[in-house]
Amino acid sequence: MTERPISEAQSIVSDAVELAGGQHALARALRINQSDISQAVNNGRPDARNRVLNALGYAVVETIHPMKGQNR
């Protein structure tokens, strides 16, 4: 897998839902809560999105970058 921006998370989850035949089917296949999938599809809580992406085999890496001129 190649790296993808977090802005594509909703698309990744939506595609997985479609391939599985629905949110409930994907939840059963991944052994996670259907509500987490619903939250990820609807741009809900980031923690739910990350759980679904992790179950799909993606590692979610968040980084902090210093703002120019703000670090001393």
pLDDT (0 to 100) of residue 72: 58
The helices-and-strands tally (H runs, E runs) of the chain is: 4, 0
In the structure encoding, which two tokens stand for residue 52, read together?
A: 């679904």
pLDDT tens digit string along 3-48? 888 889 999 999 999 999 999 999 999 999 999 999 999 987 899 9
Residue 20 structure tokens:
């599985």
Rounded Cα–Cα distance for residues 17 and 15 (Å):
5
Six-digit token string for 69: 């001129």
User: In this predicted structure, what is the pLDDT of residue 66?
Assistant: 76
C-alpha 72: how far from chain center: 34
The structure tokens listed for 50 are: 């990350």
